[in-house]
Amino acid sequence: MTRPETESAAPPVHPCEIIPGDPACGLVIACDHASNHVPPDIDLGVPASEFGRHIAYDIGAAAVTRRLAAQLNAPAILTNFSRLIIDPNRGRADPTLVMRLSDGAIVPGNARIDEAGKRARIARFYAPFDAAIDAAVDAAIAAAETTGRPPVVLTMHSFTPYWRGIARPWQVGILYDRDERFARPLIQALEDDPAGLTVGDNEPYGGGLPGDTIDRHATARGLANALVEIRQDLIAGEAGQAEWAERFARVLRPLLTA
């Protein structure tokens, strides 16, 4: 049986890492692909080396999320399980909810999963993540009755520097669907950064994914939102993680009060 190398010494017990914050800060952060952890009772049949790749988790995204949440005193919810078990950034009916093949890697433990098996993974992993985000958003909406500042929902991701051998030029991308009211000024603020960033406008992916985390928790509630993608080579180490968390904290503060 092959096991991934996890980022922490002790394996997580709860499917989510919940970072408390000030519900009145105007922001709720989610990190859908924070971990490559697989519990001991699940064997995906994937070589351990594959768990260091993007197919298992978003490299660097968790560390940036934790630092950003601390700097803004914002509530954050991070997954404690690999996207190879189940992808919480997909709708429940999405055919890629449980991946059988991911970027050329076969996932034998998912090959013959039936509907009962999917429901069990939804109940164990996906639903608690959903519930934790719902609770944070509910608290932020309640706080907005006093502050007058409905929360923005931000999800943190990372993307690979190359796709099919072609270099991706963006350092960061901001994704959105129909609602551009927060994504548009966020893109502009990043483009104005002194570092001279190349910012992807709905790149390297399109932001319209029915049933994804933003769709379920922001669009469905009429809340402003954005999905952040940072290139993985820029946040693979602590220095880059600190730099990008500080950058987003600096950029987000005025936007959240506007």
Burial class (CB in 10 A: 0-12, 13-18, 19+), 200: buried
| Cα–Cα dist 57/46, whole Å | 14
Asked, for residue 9, whether it belongs to a domain, the answer is no
pLDDT in tens, 158-182: 999 998 788 899 999 999 998 999 9
Closest CA to 252 of 78, 27, 63: 27
199 phi and psi angles, rounded to 5 deg: -105, 125
2 is a domain residue? no
- Domain holding 113, by residue range, is 16-257
Q: Give the CATH number for residue 194.
A: 3.40.630.40
In a domain, 158, yes or no: yes
The alpha-carbon radius of gyration of the chain (Å, integer) is 18
In a domain, 93, yes or no: yes
pLDDT digits (tens, 9 = 90+) for 186-198: 999 999 999 999 9
Residue 5: inside a domain: no
pLDDT grade for 211, boundaries at 50, 70 and 90? very high
Number of domains in the chain: 1
The per-residue pLDDT for range 18-75, each reduced to its tens digit, is: 999 999 999 999 999 999 999 999 999 988 888 988 899 999 999 999 999 999 999 9
Residue at 6 is within a domain: no
**Cα 231-122-131 angle, rounded to 5 deg:** 75
Q: What is the pTM of this model?
A: 0.93
Q: Is residue 54 part of a domain?
A: yes
Report whether pLDDT(8) > 80: no
The pair of three-digit structure tokens given for residue 101, joined into one six-digit string? 């093949």
Neighbours of 2 (CB within 10 A): 15
Report the distance separating Cα 29 and Cα 246, nearest Å.
15
- How far from chain centre, in Å, is Cα 54? 12
Residue 148 amino acid letter: G
Note whether residue 10 is domain-resident.
Answer: no
Do the Cβ atoms of 227 and 207 come closer than 8 Å?
yes
Structure tokens at 137: 């958003």
